[in-house]
Amino acid sequence: MRKHIYKMVLAIVILSTSMVFSQEKDTINTGVINVVKPYTPTISDAFKVKETPSIDDEETATKKEIKYNIFSFPVASTFTPAKGKAAVVDKAKPVKLYDNYATLGVGTYTTILGEVYLNHSISRTESVGGYISHHSSQGGIEDLLLEDNFSNSKINMNYTTRLRDLTWNIEAGFNQQQYNWYGLPQVMVDDAEANNIKGGHSFYGIHFGSDVTFENSYINSGSFLFRRFGDNQGSGENRFVVKTTIDIPIDREEISTDLVFDYLSGTFDRNFVTTDELKYSNFQLGVTPKYQLKQDDLTVNLGFSVFYLKDNEANESNLYVYPNITATYRLVNDILIAYGGIEGRLIQNSYFDLASENPFVSPTLFIQPTDQLYNAYVGLKGKVSSHMSYNISGGYIADRNKALFINNEITATSQNYSYGNSFGIVYDDVDTFSLAGEINVDINRNFKLGIKAEYFSYNSDNQEEAWNLPDVKGSLFLDYQINEQWFAGANLFYVGERKDQFFLNNPLINTTPFTITLESYFDANVHLGYHVNEQLSVFAKANNLANEGYQKWQNFPVQSIQFLAGATYKFDF
């Protein structure tokens, strides 16, 4: 115990002694410090800590290589993914196209309508075809003194071959037509006299022709046509036409040139007044070079036409030169296109063309060509939208020796056509001013609509009027596919007033003809059809819905409202 007390006393003495010596060695002088200027630290005084300190330890800086070991083993799976299925897209069934069809229809006035079109491919490059049509009516127009039945039958055959450098087609046909000169002026002809008139007039025609189109050649195309046309009154006409289009190279440019040879000859047993035979014969040689210029939106065709005419009967020849200039300019893309031109030509009138336009002509016509000095026109056309287009134009035509239909006078020749019930031809210099407007609407494949209106003003030199030429013409057509089965359509026509001559039959008084005005007329035709299946369709038609027996030609009223029903069958061999 004493020993522990001794140690404790000794420790206290040593600690006290060390504290005394420490206080004696402190030399700090406690005084007052005066601050003259406050301390302002600067950036240079700051110590910047580096973002990436340097490490000298090699063991820490060196990356250790790590090795991975994967211990895989197969695991059985019972999951079976579902197979993908393509989305179903509804698409229309492709329309089956047939190469042949046959149509048969019957209607009022004992009307029969029949058509058969045939086409057969011999090989990939050859095909043959044919067309047969018949349209007839037994007539029945009220208050007529003569029969008014008619018929029109046609047969046509063709052969086509398509080779690498050319396409060649050859065709032949025959047609037969029968009409009646039933347009008697009944105030001038009594029943007894009408009983002695045989008003039947039949036409027949046969033609043979060919055309060829070349690829990569200076000769672009060529064609020829021979036609024999006549009637049961002893008339006959031959026509032979050859045409070709060639490119003539001149100084790295090509001039497109049309060449034509047109021969016409015919005879009539007599003229209208006497028994002298009528003959006509001529041929034309024509050359029409044309050069096309294009710059941006402007296209100009510069050319002219030269025709040489030889009248074999009169033993005379003439040379005709015509302008042939056309131009188009796109003012606003396809929305507004301006166009214009001035052209001329030598028109070859023929018995076939005149009888096709007016089947009630007499077989006593004097045939000669028409010299169309120029046909000048300007217009605007374009598309209002993707579904609607328009065309507005104005023109001025100067014709010399223009053929005009005029009602024949009543004579004492006792011919079936000499009772004021036929038409002849007179020639006169006629200038024609016209305005025309047209709108076409094509919303889709199921709906189409077209409207056209024309106004004409005539100035004739020798004749009092431009006989049987209308002052106004208008038309409307509509085609509507209602659904897959039903379809419908309509055609409306309006023809304005025309002028013609009327003759008084008074053997005691030398009378002169006087001018009459034929009233304008409106003709509305509609049809409705139903597709029974892909091959068979049935249809119904109604013509002249206004039920007007208007006169297209003087003293020749047409059939009133008519109905016709039939069927069309399409097939392949």
Q: What is the CATH number of the domain that holds 405?
A: 2.40.170.20
Q: Examine residue 72 and state whether it is found in any structural domain, yes or no.
A: no
Domains identified in the chain, total number: 1
Out of 280-289, 344-353, 436-445, which region has the weakest mean confidence (pLDDT)?
436-445
Is 60 exceeded by the pLDDT of residue 5? no
State the pLDDT at residue 19. Answer: 45
Q: Examine residue 565 and state whether it is found in any structural domain, yes or no.
A: yes
Q: Examine residue 413 and state whether it is found in any structural domain, yes or no.
A: yes
What are the tokens at 390?
A: 């328009």
Beta bridge partners of 203: 177, 231
Is 70 exceeded by the pLDDT of residue 157? yes
- Binned at pLDDT 50, 70 and 90, residue 89 comes out as low
Out of 11-20, 384-393, 488-497, 545-554, which region has the weakest mean confidence (pLDDT)?
11-20
**Residues contacting residue 75 through CB under 8 Å, at least 6 positions apart:** none
Domain region containing 466: 117-571
Beta bridge partners of 440: 389, 450
487, 355, 362: which is closest to 422 by C-alpha?
362
Q: Are 469 and 404 in contact (CB under 8 A)?
A: yes
Helices (H), 335-469: 351-357
Distance separating alpha carbons of residues 405 and 425, to the nearest angstrom = 5
Q: Are 215 and 165 in contact (CB under 8 A)?
A: yes
pLDDT digits (tens, 9 = 90+) for 460-495: 999 999 999 999 999 999 999 999 899 999 999 999
pLDDT digits (tens, 9 = 90+) for 107-138: 999 999 999 999 999 999 999 999 999 999 99
Mean pLDDT of all residues belonging to the chain: 87
State the pLDDT at residue 530. Answer: 96
Q: What is the mean pLDDT of residues 312-339?
A: 94
State the pLDDT at residue 195. Answer: 84
Q: Examine residue 100 and state whether it is found in any structural domain, yes or no.
A: no
Out of 80-89, 184-193, 535-544, which region has the weakest mean confidence (pLDDT)?
80-89
Q: Examine residue 346 and state whether it is found in any structural domain, yes or no.
A: yes
DSSP character string of 366-396: ----EEEEEEEEEEEEEEEETTEEEEEEEEE
| pLDDT > 90 in the chain, percent | 67
Question: How many Å separate Cα 88 from the centre of its chain?
Answer: 37
- Binned at pLDDT 50, 70 and 90, residue 189 comes out as confident
Of 78 and 183, more confident: 183
Q: Examine residue 337 and state whether it is found in any structural domain, yes or no.
A: yes
- Binned at pLDDT 50, 70 and 90, residue 54 comes out as low
State the pLDDT at residue 2. Answer: 44
Q: Examine residue 280 and state whether it is found in any structural domain, yes or no.
A: yes
Distance separating alpha carbons of residues 29 and 33, to the nearest angstrom = 11
Q: Examine residue 470 and state whether it is found in any structural domain, yes or no.
A: yes
State the pLDDT at residue 365. Answer: 95
What are the tokens at 573?
A: 């061999």
**Residues contacting residue 500 through CB under 8 Å, at least 6 positions apart:** 406, 407, 467, 468, 515, 516, 518, 554
Out of 81-95, 232-246, 280-294, 441-455, which region has the weakest mean confidence (pLDDT)?
81-95
State the pLDDT at residue 187. Answer: 77
Q: Residue 286 CB: number of other CB atoms within 10 A? A: 19
Q: Residue 60 CB: number of other CB atoms within 10 A? A: 7
